[in-house]
Amino acid sequence: MTAPEPPAVAVLGTFDTKAAECCFVADRLAAAGVRPVLVDCGVFGPAGDAPRAPDVAHTEVARAAGHDAAELAAAGDRGAAVAAMADGARAVLLRLHGEGRLAGAVAAGGTGGTSIAAHAMRALPLGLPKVVVSTAASGDTAPYIGESDLVLMPSVVDVSGINSVSARILSNAADAVSGMVRGAPVGHRPPGPTVAASMFGVTTPAVTHARHLLEEQGREVLVFHMTGAGGRTLEALADRGELSGILDLTTTELADELAGGVMSAGPSRLTGGGPDTPRVVSAGALDMVNFGARDTVPERYAGRLLHVHNPAVTLMRTTPGECAELGARLAARVAALPAPAAVLLPLRGVSAISAEGGPFHDPAADAALFGAVRDGLAGTAVRLVELDTDINDPVFAETAVELLNGLLR
How sure is the predictor about 338, in pLDDT bands with cuts at 50, 70 and 90?
very high
Inter-CA distances, 190 with 43, 195, 407, Å? 43, 10, 20
Residue 2 resides in a domain: no
Residues 16 and 136 grouped into a single domain: yes
Q: Look at residue 356 in the predicted model and tell me its pLDDT.
A: 95
pTM: 0.81
Residue 1 resides in a domain: no
Residues 259 and 403 grouped into a single domain: yes
Residues 176 and 253 grouped into a single domain: no
How sure is the predictor about 3, in pLDDT bands with cuts at 50, 70 and 90?
low
Separation between Cα atoms, residue 403 and residue 383, nearest integer Å = 9
Q: 373 pLDDT exceeds 70?
A: yes
Please write the tens of the pLDDT for every residue from 168-205: 999 999 999 999 998 877 766 666 789 999 999 999 99
At 277, give phi and psi (nearest 5°). -125, 80
Residues 79 and 140 grouped into a single domain: yes
Strands (E), 212-353: 220-225, 245-250, 279-284, 288-291, 306-310, 313-317, 341-346
Q: 304 pLDDT exceeds 60?
A: yes
Residue 289 resides in a domain: yes
Residues 51 and 135 grouped into a single domain: yes
Residues 6 or more apart in contact with residue 65 via CB below 8 angstroms: 84, 85, 87, 88, 90, 91
Residues 381 and 244 grouped into a single domain: yes
The domain tally of the chain equals 2
Residue 139 resides in a domain: yes
Q: 225 pLDDT exceeds 70?
A: yes
Domain range for residue 110? Answer: 8-182
Torsion of CA 89, 87, 239, 257, to 10 degrees: 120
Q: 300 pLDDT exceeds 80?
A: yes
Residues 305 and 172 grouped into a single domain: no
Mean of per-residue pLDDT scores for the chain: 94
Residues 250 and 338 grouped into a single domain: yes
Residues 404 and 275 grouped into a single domain: yes
CATH code at position 60:
3.40.50.12020
How sure is the predictor about 12, in pLDDT bands with cuts at 50, 70 and 90?
very high
Residue 187 resides in a domain: no
Residues 297 and 371 grouped into a single domain: yes
Of 182, 214, 229, the residue that ends a domain is 182
